Structure 1
Amino acid sequence: MVSESPPGITLPVLEQFLRSAAPGLLSGPLKAGLLSGGRSNLTYLLTDGRRRWVLRRPPLGHVLATAHDMDREYRVLAALHPTDVPVPRPLVSAGPDVLGAPFYVMEFADGLVLREPAQLAEFATRSKDLAVELADVLARLHSLDPAAVGLGDLGRPAGYLMRQLRRWDKQLAASRTRDLPELVRLGERLGRAVPGGQSPAIVHGDYRLDNVVVSPDTGRVTGVLDWEMATLGDPLTDLASMVMWWDGMSRLDSPVAAVPGETPGFAGSELLIDRYAESGRDLTELSWYLGFACYKIAVIFEGIHFRAGQGLTVGAGFDRLGALVPALAERGHAALAAR
């Protein structure tokens, strides 16, 4: 933790804003540091020496439309905090007039974000319980009535899958600086075989183990993070994302986070799928959703590759993500072939 302003934050300006917007929040001088993780949005740890909070803002430089929506994330946290879906309590938010980009501040969720191989190894003997917990939290999210929690207008569920495909097609076009014929072809194949879809639910948009905080004592999820892509849509997109990040990234040498499925003794993603299936959702077309998850992750990585080429990423390893894009396209084709 440092007292100097990290990239993306002007600390004296932020401290003045917090003292005005949340009187009594700070009991000492504000300090801030960039947290590890967060492949796109920037996440900072704030402290006054006694308490801790987290600030989220979009990335520096090239920002794709709708991909880094702080207002949406803040609204979702406020709606979900009173429910049985564990999320940090949001405190204050602001537009770009304070720090040059929209941001919000939330409470710090105590626990671990399992990103490192050593962390995962410590959970190996409890990996089955961890998988069940992760799937159960997702099922609880998808069981909520959006209107009942004030999120009935968060999105338009009708045509969700086709809109998602168009969205990621456009974001690929906006970020691509090289020929990626197999990734383009994957998008085309997905478009020709879109499933009928599930009954709509609140969709996280990037649900995976390293986007939750886990208690080291109980193994329970104490907070689900990174809600900027939340909407109303097809819940199986979240299931496929969870599966891909659990073991679908195996042997890709991702620099972002350790892969649970590569950890000796860890349960495979079949347990995640089987546990989630107990919620009553029809998983017949899951292979399509896995193909779509590969496509979406590949497009996100290509966007980060674009920003890395401009020197606009903050954090280690982002310059290596572009090398994973072709392999993700190949895995997406393989998933579709399994239908």
Structure 2
Amino acid sequence: MSEETPPGLDPARLREHLDAERPGLVTGPLRAQLVEGGRSNLTYVVDDGTHRWVVRRPPLGHVLPTAHDMAREHTVISALGDTEVPVPPTVLLCTDESVLGAPFYVMDYVEGTPYRRRDQLEALGPDRTRRIAEAMIDTLARLHAVDYASVGLAEFGRPEGYLERQLRRWGKQLDASRSRDLPGIDTLRERLSKRLPTSSAPTIVHGDYRLDNLLVGADDEITAVLDWEMSTLGDPLTDVALLVAYTEGEALGDEISSVATAPGFPRIDDLVARYTATSGRDTSAMAWYLGFAFFKLAVILEGIYFRYRQGKTVGEGFDRLGASVAPLVARGNSVLKED
């Protein structure tokens, strides 16, 4: 399939819709290219020869309940547009599946680099690597400082009972994607259920916050936070813990992350300490949140691997994701045993 007609996006149909909903926005034939590396929702860069946009739509098959909600992504990005949290300006949301075969939304293209591998940061040197990691943490603290009611997100989620619901939700996601034996995952699930902490004051939660879901500009500042499909209102420490889990990913394989091993990248304790100082939040119960983060990450990867085995996932590297699930489960159990 050519670059102009990638799977899941028909440029001609998209052009027709944009011409009808935003007359004059597009000035020439559209070309579209799938952004490689996405593991869940599909992302495309679209251009008319003069301007560029980004289109987001769900994967081509096996969409789990409550996941891949385009309206949620569009809502939260639009709400954050006037805050200190950098997000791309939104163009439109389309829930008419006859256009592209699924709901989708369009946003402006933002310049920046999503750093995912050690070698990318090594090329920048240790000082820039440290600045980028610190900007990542500071941006997360700014997100958690947003008064969600004042930006129109008071009904975006139900903070009460958030941790209990999250544990149930990801347990159901696991059951929906379970196609093989996963030693230790039920033990981890039970341990988490028995040791639920008292939640921090609720905030907007990104749900999948990590360096490669951020765009970094030439000045090493964050130009955009991307991939809001799991966002809601809830406990901010779940974002911090998941970021740490991704940061530990080097020991679990490059399919998760390898940025933390780059020279200059802060140690995990330093990242948590910077967040604690910047946000003013109590992070003393981080062990439970880490255990949950490893559980959630294992379920996410198992779901992606499940779609890969069904032949319904676009991109490369999915065959290796299955091998990362067991180490994540083991790490989650280890964190809870050590606490």
Q: Is the 8 A contact 1:291 1:335 kept in 2?
A: yes
**1:198 paired residue number:** 200
Q: Say whether residues 1:105 and 2:96 are aligned partners.
A: no
Say which is worse superposed, 116-125 or 294-303, in terms of deviation.
Answer: 116-125
Shift of 1:270: 2.1
Q: Is the 8 A contact 1:254 1:324 kept in 2?
A: no
Partners in 2 of 1:261 and 1:157 — Cα distance?
Answer: 31
- Tell me the distance in 1 between the aligned counterparts of 2:66 and 2:231: 11
Q: Secondary structure at the match of 1:327?
A: helix
Task: Map 1:143-292; keep pairs closer than 5 Å.
Answer: 143-215=145-217, 217-246=218-247, 248-255=248-255, 258-278=257-277, 279-292=279-292
- What amino acid sits opposite 1:40 in the alignment? S
Q: Which residue identity is paired with 2:262?
A: T
TM-aligned CA deviation for residue 126 of structure 1: 1.7
- The amino acid of 1:159's aligned partner reads G
Q: CA deviation at 1:235?
A: 0.2
Q: CA deviation at 1:2?
A: 5.3
Q: Which runs of 5+ in 2 are unaligned?
A: none
Query: Aligned residues: percent identity?
Result: 53
Any residues of structure 2 matched to 1:72-87 within 5 Å, and which? 72-87=72-87
User: Given that residues 37 and 316 in structure 2 are in contact (C-alpha distance below 8 angstroms), is that contact kept between their aligned partners in structure 1?
Assistant: no
Work out whether residues 55 and 105 of structure 2, in 8 Å CA contact, stay in contact via their aligned partners in 1: yes
Displacement after TM superposition at 1:266 (Å) = 2.4
In 2: Cα distance, 1:45 partner to 1:249 partner:
28
1:58 and 1:187 mapped to 2: Cα distance?
A: 27
1:218 positional shift: 1.1
Aligned pairs for 1:129-140 within 5 A: 129-140=131-142
- Give the match's secondary structure for 2:252: coil
The Cα offsets for residues 295-332 of structure 1, whole Å up to 9 and x where unpaired, read as 00100111111111111111110121111111100010
Quick check: 1:202–1:232 contact (8 Å CA) kept in 2? Answer: yes
Q: Contact 1:128/1:271 (CA < 8 Å) preserved in 2?
A: no
Q: How far is 1:97 from its partner?
A: 2.5
C-alpha separation in 2, matches of 1:44 and 1:149: 28
**Within 2, Cα distance between the matches of 1:167 and 1:282?**
25
CA distance in 1, matches of 2:110, 2:223: 7
Distance 2:237 2:196 in 1: 13
The answer (yes or no) to whether the contact 1:53–1:108 under 8 Å persists in 2 is: yes
What is the aligned-residue RMSD (CA, Å)? 1.4
Letter in 2 for 1:286: M
Shift of 1:3: 5.1
Name the CA distance, whole Å, in 2 between partners of 1:269 and 1:49.
43
Q: Deviations over 1:75-101 (max 9, x none)?
A: 001000111100001101101231111
Distance across 1 between alignment mates of 2:103 and 2:144: 28
| Matched residue type, 1:104 | Y
Equivalent pairs, count: 336
Matches of 1:180 and 1:252, distance apart in 2: 16
CA displacement 1:197-240 (0-9 Å, x = unmatched): 1010000000010000001x210000000011110000000001
Q: Quick check: 2:159–2:235 contact (8 Å CA) kept in 1?
A: yes
**TM-score, with length taken from structure 1:** 0.96
SS in structure 2 of the partner of residue 266 of structure 1: coil
Q: Distance in 2 between matches of 1:285 and 1:10?
A: 48
Match of 2:295 in 1: 295
